[in-house]
Chain A
Amino acid sequence: MASTTPAKRPDPARLLSAPARWTLPELALWVAAAACFWVFPSKLLLLNEVAILALFALSLDLILGYAGIVSLGHAAFFGVGAYAAGLLAKHGIADPLVGLGVAAAAAGIVGFLSSFLVLRGSDLTRLMVTLGVALLLFELANRLDGITGGADGLQGITMGPLLGLFEFDLYGRTAFVYSTTVLFALFLVARRVVHSPFGLSLRAVKGNLLRARAVGISSSTRSVAIYTLAAVYAGIAGGLTAQTSQFVSLDVFDFHRSADVMLVLVLGGTGYLYGGIIGALIFRLMQDWLAGITPQYWQFWIGLVLVLVVLVGRERIEGLPRGLMGLLRRLTGRPAAEGTRP
């Protein structure tokens, strides 16, 4: 704000579009992600999981960070996508990209339908409905064991080569490049969406529903749209999991998956899209480390982290990566982007 002339008020259009500009730390992050392929060739399977988890958290960020919807059952869409992609591959259509499209469509349909229930009522009803939808799908997948394999999981998935050229290998090379590319592409779309007038109006609805309505923003159509989009993203993340691990089990709908993704997002920070990616990295490394110490009871420590995060203050922890980004920006000599968080 100090950089503009004090006599003139800043141009609102410029103020709103300022965060949409690409900054150096952002580019550095993506370059680093790509560099992982050569730097950590033995960790690609783990990094593939990080990329998928990041995409899943990104999808939660769309509804939590931008629309303020607290969801206890985001795994529902992840699971639908995973089963859709898995079933398709099992029954002969082995092309990964087609599978991903079907996963996205299936999750999108479920998301669109359930969004009407989610939009009713208060935060409390939303908690109940999101949790209920995930449990319902869990029960459904459990009962239809003729199709889904029930508690044994969906076995016998064989994936075709990516684009007809690259076979999925044991070291996760193809898987990592595939997942990271999908993450990057979807990230670009999400970035475009949240900085568009549509995304700005979502923030208005989140900030103050009454005022947003007073200036003529229809909150419900926007919520339906973003909820459906988030479901599509989660479905793609689920599809990626099914395709790269070639296995789907009931675990995809489990409650702890919905809770974990919330922790991921909170560790990285909500409402600026990179939270999911940073959080996924922290979470996965932490989980690996904890599982090494106590294989059976690592959930206890995840719970402790959740409690501590809240007691220390979400804002302070969220501020950390954001502050780091700001520091990098200052070091690289570019003027700080105005109003990174309006």
Chain B
Amino acid sequence: MVTILLDGIAYGMLLFVLACGLSVTLGLMNFVNLAHGAFAMAGGYTTALLMNRAGVSFFVCLPLSFLVAAALGAVMERTLYRHLYGRPHLDQVLFTIGIVFMAVSATDWAMGSQPQNIRLPDSLRGRVEILGGSIGVYRLFVIVVCGLLTIAIQAILNGTRFGSRLRAAVDDPRVARGLGIPVNTVFALTFAFGSGLAGLGGALGTEVFGMDPTFPVKFMIYFLIVVSVGGTTSITGAFFASLLLGIADVAGKYYVPEIGAFIIYAVMVAVLIVRPQGLFARAGR
């Protein structure tokens, strides 16, 4: 029971790190980026390649994955994505699906379609006993890293000058510009940071989800559920939505394996019926 709960929390935390960049671009900036998973895949492949081909330590790979995905995000934002802010959602959907298709085929072409495996360092293997349940050391590591990241993201968004600039730029870009806030730079930085987090999530998740070229398509629904179930106003909502989804998914697959795959859709439908605007939506929006 506790074991499943802890596994679910690890899974949910990972989903949060993967999706929270999206909850900022999609939720706050109102830009539908279905290609978010492609950045996560970039992170995952960076780690897999560095570890397997160059023998780099896992702990060095994690920040590198963040940097690679963030750099990729920054380049894409500056060259392509920024033209699409303010365009109809249909355009954004078509564009990002195109990016997904290209990323999937290109990865398949360059790396082959087999899943990438990584060998965790010895210090992260084995299990430990907590609260009467047991949990893999790696899951615990994931929970700790993701928990720290969550606190850091919250602190940045709510406590720093950059956070308040971002919120201002999102609420009303024109007025924010008038006040001298470099809106474009703020958006670009946010996008890059979100992509970097996705890359880090992908790197951490390689061991948990497995990483193959279809990753962006497979996890698109998870990201969408996290963002829309969580509501589009804060990342707190996305955090609780991720946890709910993670625990429900793991518990469902463990207790009722026959219908386990349907649990996430059940969660999606249930939340929609009870709270169509998401769990933590501001009233009247």
Question: Which residue of chain A lies nearest to B89 when distances are taken between CB atoms in the complex?
Answer: A123
Known: A120-B276, A132-B221. A300 touches B102 (CB 8 A): yes
Least distance between A90 CB and chain B CB atoms (Å): 25
Interface size on A, residues (CB 8 A): 40
A224: interface (CB < 8 Å): no
Q: Mark A303-332, 1 if CB is under 8 A from B, else 0.
A: 111110111001000000000000000000
A131 to B84, alpha carbons, bound, how many Å? 22
Known: A117-B272, A136-B265, A310-B94. A125 touches B102 (CB 8 A): no
- Given B87, B95, B228, which contacts A124 in the complex, CB threshold below 8 Å? B228
A72: interface (CB < 8 Å): yes
A140 to B259, alpha carbons, bound, how many Å? 9
Known: A132-B221, A135-B221. A310 touches B268 (CB 8 A): no
- Given A135, A139, A307, which contacts B95 in the complex, CB threshold below 8 Å? A307
- Given A125, A129, A259, A310, which contacts B91 in the complex, CB threshold below 8 Å? A310
Residues of A within 8 A of B90 (CB): 64, 70, 266, 314
Residues of B within 8 A of A311 (CB): 80, 83, 95
Interface segment out of the listed B67-75, B103-111, B171-179, B202-210:
B103-111
Residues of B within 8 A of A306 (CB): 94-95, 97-98, 101
Residues of B within 8 A of A120 (CB): 272-273, 276
A-B contacts at CB below 8 angstroms, number: 123
A109: interface (CB < 8 Å): no
A262: interface (CB < 8 Å): yes
In the bound complex, do residue B102 and residue A304 qualify as a contact, i.e. CB atoms below 8 Å apart?
yes
- Given A123, A135, A143, A307, which contacts B32 in the complex, CB threshold below 8 Å? A123
Residues of B within 8 A of A136 (CB): 262, 265
A297: interface (CB < 8 Å): yes
A93 to B121, alpha carbons, bound, how many Å? 60
Residues of B within 8 A of A310 (CB): 84, 87, 91, 94-95, 98
Say what secondary structure dominates the interface of chain A. helix
In the bound complex, do residue A300 and residue B105 qualify as a contact, i.e. CB atoms below 8 Å apart?
yes
Question: Which residue of chain A lies nearest to B87 when distances are taken between CB atoms in the complex?
Answer: A310
A331 to B213, alpha carbons, bound, how many Å? 51
Least distance between A267 CB and chain B CB atoms (Å): 11
In the bound complex, do residue A263 and residue B94 qualify as a contact, i.e. CB atoms below 8 Å apart?
yes
Least distance between B15 CB and chain A CB atoms (Å): 14
Known: A72-B93, A297-B105, A297-B109. A127 touches B98 (CB 8 A): no
A287: interface (CB < 8 Å): no
Known: A120-B276, A306-B98. A139 touches B262 (CB 8 A): yes
Residues of A within 8 A of B97 (CB): 259, 262, 303, 306
In the bound complex, do residue B94 and residue A309 qualify as a contact, i.e. CB atoms below 8 Å apart?
yes
A147: interface (CB < 8 Å): no
Known: A121-B272, A125-B272. A300 touches B217 (CB 8 A): no
In the bound complex, do residue B276 and residue A131 qualify as a contact, i.e. CB atoms below 8 Å apart?
no
A245: interface (CB < 8 Å): no
A29: interface (CB < 8 Å): no
Question: Which residue of chain B lies nearest to A121 when distances are taken between CB atoms in the complex?
Answer: B276
Residues of A within 8 A of B128 (CB): none
Known: A297-B108, A306-B97. A124 touches B276 (CB 8 A): no
Question: Which residue of chain A lies nearest to B225 when distances are taken between CB atoms in the complex?
Answer: A128
Residues 226-285 (chain B) with a chain A CB within 8 angstroms: 227-228, 232, 258, 261-262, 265, 268-269, 272-273, 276-278
B224: interface (CB < 8 Å): yes
A247: interface (CB < 8 Å): no
Least distance between A159 CB and chain B CB atoms (Å): 33
Max count, chain B CB within 10 A of own CB: residue among A122, A140, A309: A122
In the bound complex, do residue B26 and residue A124 qualify as a contact, i.e. CB atoms below 8 Å apart?
yes
In the bound complex, do residue A127 and residue B93 qualify as a contact, i.e. CB atoms below 8 Å apart?
yes
Given contacts A266-B94, A303-B99, A303-B102, 11 further A-B contacts (CB under 8 A): A70-B93, A121-B276, A124-B32, A125-B272, A127-B34, A132-B268, A139-B261, A140-B262, A306-B95, A310-B87, A310-B95
Q: List 6 A-B contacts (CB under 8 A).
A: A72-B93, A117-B272, A120-B273, A124-B232, A127-B32, A262-B94
